[in-house]
Amino acid sequence: MTASASVSENKFAYHYLFYVSQNYSFAILRPLQQAIRNCGGEVRWFFEGNEINRDYIQPDEKEIKSVEEVLKYQPRAIFAPGNEIPHFFPGVKTRLFHGFASEKRKRDNSAYSTIVRPWFDLYCTPGPDLTEAYSQAAREQGFFKVIETGWSKVDPLFWDDKQGKNKKNDKPVILVASTFTPRYTLAPHLQEQISRLSQNNKWRWLVTFHPKMDQKIVADYKAMQHDNLSFIETDNVIPLLQQADVLVCDSSSIKSEFLIQNKPVVAFRVEPKLPHLMHIEEAHQLEAKITQALQPSADYLQKVRSYADSIHPYYDGRSSYRVLQAVEDFIAAPDKPDKAKPIGMFRKFKIRKKLSYWK
C-alpha cells in the first residue's frame, strides 16, 4: 500500500512523539517535525540511552524526560528510526528506517535491514523494494501494516534551494563516507591516496564517517586536514550530499541517499558488482575512477535512475507528509492487524528496566 502523494495538511494537528536512541535520528526526524509544525501539530522528543550527543538538540526542540509525561502527553503516533518502542507507550507505534537496504549486510540469510521488529504497528517504507519485502512479512506474520511513504530524511534534498546549497561548485567536490565496520570500511585502505590526491588542488575533498568509526582512524583523517580537505562530524549529511559531485563510499547505505540525486558513486570493494555503482578494488584505481565519474555516461546515469526509482521513487520532498497520512490511514483502516505482537515477557522486562518504569 502506498500513502497518497496529495496530502491535505490540515489533518495532522495532533500530538506526536519521537523515540530516539542514536544521533542519526535527528536528520531523519527533523523534516517530519517541520511537516507536523506546518500542520499545526506538536512534537516532543524522548531520548533513551546514553549515546545521544545532546549538543545536537536544537533550542526549539521540546523534550519529554519521563514515562509519566509521555502518558500524560498522549501522542497520536510515536515515530522511531531505531529497533524498538516501549509497548506501554500510547499511540500508533511507527517504524521509520535509519537507512536504505544494504546489499552487503546479511543475517540468517536475510537482508539485515528487512528483519521485522515486534514492537511496531506500522512500517513506513521508503520505496518498492522494501515495501515488497515487508508486505510479504506482514501477510505472513499478521501483526503490523506496511504503507509506502518515501523516507523523511531525504525530503530536504528536493526542497527549493533558498540558501544556495546547490550552487555550482568552483571545482569538483568529492565526498568520502565510510561505515565503521572493519571488514567493510574503506578508511584505512584509501587514506594514503586521498591524502595525496587532495594535495593537487584539482578537487575539493569532504570526509565524513559513521559516528562509531575507530577513533584512531578519525584522528588520522583529522590530522590530514588542510585548505582542500575537511573532516566533518555532523548529525546531518544532507548538505554534504547536496554539495558533492561524486561520492566515494563502501558498503555504507549513504551511497543510496546520494544516488537518488542521480549522481555517481565510486564504490570500494562492494559486492555484488552492481551497475549503478562505479567499482574499484584497489586504492591506486581511485583517481581514474573519480575522473570517469565526473563525466558519467548517459547509460550509467540511466542505471542510477532505475535503481533510485526502485528504492525511493519520490522526488517531491513530501515524504514526511505521506508518513503522517499513513498514520491516519492506519487508524481509519477497517482491517487492523489481526494478531498480537510477539513481544515476550523477557523483552518487556528489559525495556521496562531500561526506562526504570514498573507501573
- Hunting for cell 542521480 — which residue is that? 262
Q: How far apart are CA 79 and CA 18, in angstroms?
A: 5
pTM above 0.85, yes or no: yes
Give the pLDDT of residue 112.
45
- Mean pLDDT computed over 322-345: 93
- pLDDT class of 153 with cuts at 50, 70, 90: very high
- pLDDT class of 216 with cuts at 50, 70, 90: very high
- pLDDT class of 103 with cuts at 50, 70, 90: low
Is the confidence at residue 102, as pLDDT, over 60?
Answer: no
C-alpha cell at 57: 538538540
Tell me which H or E stretch contains 176: strand 173-178
Q: Say if CB 92 and CB 107 are below 8 A apart.
A: no
Give the pLDDT of residue 164.
45
Q: Which CATH architecture has domain 9-157+317-355?
A: 3-Layer(aba) Sandwich (3.40)
Q: Which of 248, 246, 169 is nearest to 209 (CA)?
A: 248
What residue spans define the domains of the chain? 9-157+317-355, 162-311
User: β-strands 122-125, 145-148: how paired?
Assistant: parallel
C-alpha cell at 117: 521488529
Output the average pLDDT for the chain: 91
- Mean pLDDT computed over 106-124: 72
Sorted by sequence, the CB contacts under 8 Å of residue 220 that are 6+ apart come out as 191
Per-residue pLDDT reduced to its tens digit, 156-214: 999 875 444 555 678 999 999 999 999 999 999 999 999 999 999 899 999 999 988 99
Give the pLDDT of residue 61.
97
* Reported CATH class of domain 162-311: alpha beta
Q: Which of 237, 125, 278, 105 is nearest to 184 (CA)?
A: 105
Q: 303 phi and psi, to 5 degrees?
A: -65, -35
Let me know if the fold of 9-157+317-355 is the same as that of 162-311.
yes
Q: Please give the single-letter amino acid code of residue 200.
A: N
Give the pLDDT of residue 105.
45
Q: How far apart are CA 33 and CA 51, in angstroms?
A: 21
Sorted by sequence, the CB contacts under 8 Å of residue 157 that are 6+ apart come out as 238, 241, 242, 257, 260, 261, 317
C-alpha cell at 205: 575533498
Give the pLDDT of residue 163.
46
Is the confidence at residue 106, as pLDDT, over 50?
Answer: no
Q: Pick 326 or 12 by higher pLDDT.
A: 326
- Residue 140's SS3 state is helix
- Of 67-76, 111-120, 168-177, 346-355, where does the model show the most confidence? 67-76
User: β-strands 278-280, 15-20: how paired?
Assistant: unpaired
Q: Pick 218 or 253 by higher pLDDT.
A: 218
